[in-house]
Amino acid sequence: MNEPVVVQGLTKYFYDESRGEVRAVQEVDFACRAGEIFGLLGANGAGKTTTLRMLATILAPTAGTASLLGHDVVREPEEARRHLGFYSSSTALYPRLTARETIEFFARINRYPAAQIAQRVGELIERFGIASYADVRVDRLSTGMKQKVSIARTVAHDPPVLIFDEPTVGLDVLNALELQERIREFRAQGKTIVFSTHIMSEAEKLCDRIAIIHGGRILACDTLDGLRRATGMRYLEDIFVCCVKGRE
């Protein structure tokens, strides 16, 4: 398989004091192609974040495998992370660094070639329209400004794979639309994008293929047209409900 992201039988069980064993993710399989936005669509608690955290090597799978550009997330976690940019609402920026320092630091720590870091930082500042506040500390920036810096730091080391875990949570409409536009740009650059959301319209507009995840399992995975054909439904909301009800 030549796909940049390959997930096979990925499973994660947790032990929770009050709930006992929690099967957060069960035998999830998917693969993502270069230049594709792959959507994980599911309600809250469906297993999206756990799946993406395993892919980002933050969590170790209980069973199954996942690889990023051929690097196994368990055996070669550092190599896997080197080829990955991870963005989520829970990955905040360091408040006491400036925007410029933040981008530079992420490029450096993720091993972007040292000689090209200054140029890369300048490019990103220009491309994301950060120049006017590049030397302002992050804790003094507005939410929209922080979001731009966050995206810039995610791609600072120019990773071929990007994970966006519910990236628009907490953003206003304009900022959410801008973020979607950026994600499309990354696709145009040939990057592989794994995108999780619980917002149907977002998945509908943005994703080339959508995996519907519920109860830790993938119930369906196809293009929007493919899902429509398989379920006979037009709208993603109906498709989602059909899949979930069919499962239950």
Binding of residue 97 to other proteins (CB under 8 A):
yes
99-109 vs 143-154: helix crossing angle, rounded to 10:
20
Binding of residue 88 to other proteins (CB under 8 A):
yes
Binding of residue 105 to other proteins (CB under 8 A):
yes
Out of 78, 135, 181, 237, the only residue in the binding site for other proteins (CB under 8 A) is 78
Q: Contact, 73 vs 66, CB < 8 A? A: yes
**25 strand-pairing partners:** 12
By C-beta, is 111 or 229 nearer to other proteins?
Answer: 111
Q: In the chain, which residue ranges form alpha helices assigned H by DSSP? A: 48-55, 77-82, 99-109, 117-127, 143-154, 173-188, 200-206, 224-231, 236-247
Q: Using CB under 8 A, which of the segments 25-33, 94-102, 215-223, 239-247 binds other proteins? A: 94-102
Query: How far, in Å, CA of 36 to CA of 208, rounded?
Result: 6
Out of 32, 84, 141, 193, the only residue in the binding site for other proteins (CB under 8 A) is 84
Q: What is the DSSP letter of 140?
A: G
By C-beta, is 74 or 200 nearer to other proteins?
Answer: 74
Helical (H) or strand (E) element with 85: strand 84-88
Binding of residue 157 to other proteins (CB under 8 A):
yes
Show contacts with other proteins in window 2-41 (CB under 8 A).
14
In angstroms, give the least distance from the CB of 76 to other proteins.
11
Question: Which residue ranges make up the site for other proteins (CB under 8 A)?
Answer: 14, 53, 56, 58-60, 78-79, 81-82, 84, 86, 88, 90-97, 101, 105, 108-111, 137, 157
